[in-house]
Amino acid sequence: MIELKTAEEIERMRKAGRVVGRLLAFLAERVGPGMKTKELDEAAARFLRSSGAEPAFLGYRGFPATVCVSVNEEVVHGIPGERRIQEGDVVSIDAGAKIDGFYADAAITVGVGSLTSDAKRLIEVTKRSLDRAIASTTPRNRLSDISCAVQETVEGAGFSVVRDFVGHGIGRAMHEDPPIPNYGPPHRGPRLQSGMVLAIEPMVTMGGWLVEVLADGWTAVTKDRSWAAHFEHTIAITNDGPEILTQVPGAL
């Protein structure tokens, strides 16, 4: 069952959303060549602490860090560590926070220095697929219209949509119903309505869509080691249309 949030609950989720959006903007500015991915995590932990927010990922099913940092062939759930970011890399950062009993969850992919034209396009198309998916969340559309918007945008650009991970409802728990795949035919599933709060998160690869999880038990990489990008927003559906709760200040 998809739980509808009251106006008061959405107001509380705006708080968590704003912190996550600001955290991602803060981290995106800091990503640079030579930096270890764990340095981003340390900065994220400090940022959330000073914002009065709890990290949502730390300890979640044993995840050992505040944010996920996934570089190049890493799709999602990268554990920040000793890997050094290099010029030309694409770095996906996924962050979640809890404030006042409610969660928000968002992700961005940042290009480091000058990128190949394919890498640049990968980031642009993934972001565009999220924008189109969000635009499709008008009341009266159905859940799979979100999925279809992502798939059409991504495959129309010659890239692939990851199947093994999906978006989700969000609220008092980080993962609520419904699961939101990034592929599928339109006009299926429950009707979208005001009060639904959803985390929509296309994961896109340059090559095939198959992924595998590394021996650390978390880091998901493309099977063919092609590069991947990931964008995510937590959005609330209102009678006036979607409201992005995790808007990243100054983001592309």
| Part of the chain binding Mg ion (CB under 5 A), chosen from 7-15, 105-113, 143-151, 183-191 | 105-113
Stretch that binds Mg ion, among 14-22, 23-31, 99-107, 135-143 (CB under 5 A): 99-107
Instruction: Using the minimum distance from each CB to Mg ion, give the nearer residue, 73 or 105.
Output: 105
Among 73, 89, 105, 176, binds Mg ion (CB under 5 A): 105
Select from 2-10, 104-112, 133-141, 215-223 the region that touches Mg ion (CB under 5 A). Answer: 104-112
Element (H, E) at 70: strand 67-71
Listed in order, strand segments (DSSP E) in 112-166 are 160-161
The 3-state secondary structure of the chain, one letter per residue: CCCCCCHHHHHHHHHHHHHHHHHHHHHHHHCCCCCEHHHHHHHHHHHHHHHCCEECCCCHHHCCCCEEEEECCEEECCCCCCCECCCCCEEEEEEEEEECCEEEEEEEEEECCCCCHHHHHHHHHHHHHHHHHHHCCCCCCEHHHHHHHHHHHHHHCCCEECCCCCEEECCCCCCEEEEECCCCCCCCCCECCCCCEEEECCEEECCCCCEEECCCCCCEEECCCCCEEECEEEEEEECCEEEECCCCCCCC
CB of 202 to Mg ion, least distance (A): 11
Binding to Mg ion (CB under 5 A): which residues in 148-207?
Answer: 199, 201
Please report how close the Cβ of residue 199 comes to Mg ion at its closest, in angstroms.
Answer: 4
Taking the least distance from each CB to Mg ion, the nearer of 9 and 105 is: 105
Structure tokens belonging to residue 208 = 């095939």
Minimum Å gap between C-beta 41 and Mg ion is 17
Closer residue to Mg ion, CB minimum distance, 60 or 216: 60
Q: Looking at beta carbons only, is 115 or 213 nearer to Mg ion? A: 213
CB of 41 or CB of 201, closer to Mg ion: 201
d(CA 52, CA 100): 10
What is the C-alpha separation between 171 and 244, in angstroms, rounded? 14
Residue 226: CB minimum distance to Mg ion, A: 22
Which stretch in 7-15, 103-111, 120-128, 222-230 sits in contact with Mg ion by CB under 5 A?
A: 103-111
CB of 14 to Mg ion, least distance (A): 17
Q: How many residues bind Mg ion (CB under 5 A)?
A: 3
Residues 41-80 that bind Mg ion (CB under 5 A): none
**In the bound complex, what is the minimum distance in angstroms from residue 68's beta carbon to Mg ion?**
10
Q: In whole angstroms, how close is the CB of 116 to Mg ion at the nearest point?
A: 28
- Residues within the interface to Mg ion (CB under 5 A): 105, 199, 201
